[in-house]
Structure 1
Amino acid sequence: MAGYLIRRLATAIIVVIGITLVTFLMLHIVAPEPALTILGPKATPAAIRAFNHAYGYDRPWYEQFITYLNHLLHGNLGDSPKDNQTVVSLFKEKAPLSAFLSGVSLLVAIVVAIPLGIYQAVKRNSVGDVTATTVAFIFYSMPVFMVALILIQIFALSLGWVDPNVSQDQTLGGALSSWPELVLPIVALATTTVAAYSRYQRSASLDVLAQDYIKVARAKGLPDRLIYTRHLIRNASLPMITLIGLSLPALIAGNVLIENAFNIDGLGLLFVKSLQNDDYNVLLGYTLLTAVLTVIGNLIADVALTLSDPRIRLV
């Protein structure tokens, strides 16, 4: 196990550096000059040169990248000229609310999808299974922002039950004080995840039900309740561990759309504003965060799956 973790961590570092390099090149070669965005189109050449020199944009790209990596080793993601703050301070300010949305929506998806998928497998081809499958396919095929717009139209604009805009208090406590406004974003973010998880759980449960040990248990006269609780649920849920680990970057991407749709002042909305402002350091930091969470999610999923299933050995 220790050797496996060391190899995975070494690979993860290489992957993160590679992703950072590709993003760095894309932003600094393809994107327009940040000085024009920050200072405005009427900025004088002298002001542009001073801005580029102050932030190091006048140096060759490889020197900028080496400097950026050196800053990363010291926990420095650079500064945001537009917000006049460090990227780290911006992330600390915006991350709690985004993490809350992702965490709660993931928890809701797990609690709903796993029992639903198992029920569908046990009641295969029943009315309930066909209905749940149809609904799952509908939501699975819809982008998350479309689900958000539908929820806003029905529950906020038509019925008037909630405010379509979440409280602009930047702290998590301030947002939670108006918790009903967070219901629609969480439901929108969880809906597509439930659709994907339930389909996956149904397929895994059908595979387990077809195994010989299930047939033997039934031949011995073991009640279905015991078969499902002792054999089906645990074995059918093992593949979900990997899927949940791989879902971390998808939730972050969903946050970008959901926070923009509901005007939630989190990391997703910060990313969109940084795209509009060509704020390179924030974009790089967000991409780096996504890469790190992807690697961590994969690693946690592999280790958790190994601990849950003794038949798996990491070599």
Structure 2
Amino acid sequence: MLRFLVRRLGQGIGVLLGLTIVTFLFLHMLPGGPARALLGAKATPETVAALNRSLGLDRPLPVQYLQWLGRLLHGDLGESYQQGQSVGSLLAQRLPPTLLLVGTAVVLSLLIAIPLGVYQATHRNRLGDYLGTLGGLLGYSMPVFWFGLLLIMVFSLNLDWFPAGGIVSPRQSMGDVTARVQHLVLPVAMLSVAYVATWSRYVRASMLDVLGQDFVRMAEAKGAKRSRVLYAHALPNALISTVTLVGTSLPFVLSGSLVAEVVFNYQGMGLLFWNAAQVKDFPVLMGTVVLLGFATVAGSILADVVNAVLDPRIRRRSLA
């Protein structure tokens, strides 16, 4: 198990390193650059060149990257060009609201998707299965930003049940519980619909595959109760692939949170990244990419470890 974990950690570090290189190059290939964004379109070339020298942006890209990587290894993500604040402190403020939003949406989606997928698998080709399939098709084919705007129009503007905007201050999300819940309802609903639609279909397919295997038929032939066959034998094996799906879906989960935060003005990591992209605030963009990339790699490794614990065959194949 230790060799398996070390191998996965090594792969994760390689992925993170490649991610930082690609992102760094792409950001610095954008026209205009941060100096032009800071000084405005009317700035003279001399002024832009002077600011580039002061920020160290006139050096070769490999030198800039190595300097940035060296600071990163010491925990220094730089300082925001626009806000004049360290990137680390900005991320520390915005990370808890995003974790709250994403974590709530993922947990709620799994609590709905797993029973729904099991129900559809055990009622295959019946009315409930057809309705679940139709709902899933609508859920993952509908643009999430459009669904968010629809939620605002119905539940905020027309019914006045929930606030149309998100948390005004990042710290407010960690304050009053009632206000936190009210501001979370619509963004969580927006994210959960797409996740439930995708994950429930996957659980359904996994359950159908497991229910057709010999060990399930043997348990039924021995007279085991239907509920025991489903929840003690079939479901644990079906969830192995579901754990992998959730882990590998983390990039899409985080990108969905960006859309939700922009639509609802929710002061989290996604909105921070969006605002930084508008003004070419490179340190904030790089810091956000690194943090989200780390979260994605960590989620993938955690899913692999959980699968290896649940099914030793996966661990043996990976070390072969």
Same fold (TM over 0.5): yes
- State the alpha-carbon separation in 1 of the partners of residues 27 and 47 from structure 2: 22
8 A Cα contact 2:4 2:315, kept in partner: no
2:251 is equivalent to residue 223 of structure 1:
no
In 2, the alpha carbon distance for the partners of 1:176 and 1:254 equals 24
Greater alpha carbon shift after TM alignment, 301-310 vs 116-125? 301-310
Let me know the Cα RMSD of the aligned residues.
1.5
Aligned AA (1:106): V
Unaligned runs of 5+ in 2: none
* Percent identity of paired positions between Structure 1 and Structure 2: 41
Question: How many pairs are equivalent?
Answer: 315
Q: Output aligned runs, 1:26-175, within 5 Å.
A: 26-171=26-171, 172-174=173-175
Q: State the TM-score, normalized to the length of structure 1.
A: 0.95
Q: Is the 8 A contact 1:117 1:198 kept in 2?
A: yes
> Contact (CA 8 Å) 1:169, 1:175: kept in 2 or not?
no
Paired with 2:67 and 2:243, the residues of 1 have a C-alpha distance of: 38
Q: CA deviation at 1:283?
A: 1.2
Equivalent pair of 1:166/1:175 in contact (CA under 8 Å): no
Q: Alignment partner of 1:80: what SS?
A: coil
- How far residue 241 of structure 1 moved from its aligned partner, in angstroms, is 0.9
Match of 2:210 in 1: 208
Structure 1 unaligned runs (5+)? none
Q: What is the CA–CA distance in structure 1 between the aligned matches of 2:205 and 2:143, rounded to whole Å?
A: 23
1:133-157: CA deviation from partner (whole Å, max 9, x where unpaired): 1001111112321221221122112
The equivalent of 1:192 in structure 2 is: 194
1:280 aligns with 2:282: yes
Structure 1: how far apart are the matches of 2:258 and 2:176? Answer: 17
Matches within 5 A, 1:236-247: 236-247=238-249
Q: Equivalent residue of 2:32, what SS?
A: coil
Is 1:250 the counterpart of 2:252? The answer is: yes
CA 1:27–1:312 in 2, change beyond 3 Å: closer, same or farther? closer
Please say if residues 156 and 163 of structure 1, whose CA atoms lie closer than 8 Å, have aligned partners that are also in contact: yes
Deviates more, 1:240-249 or 1:113-122: 240-249
* Farther off after superposition, 14-23 or 260-269: 14-23
**Structure 1 stretches of at least 4 aligned residues deviating more than 4 Å after TM superposition:** none
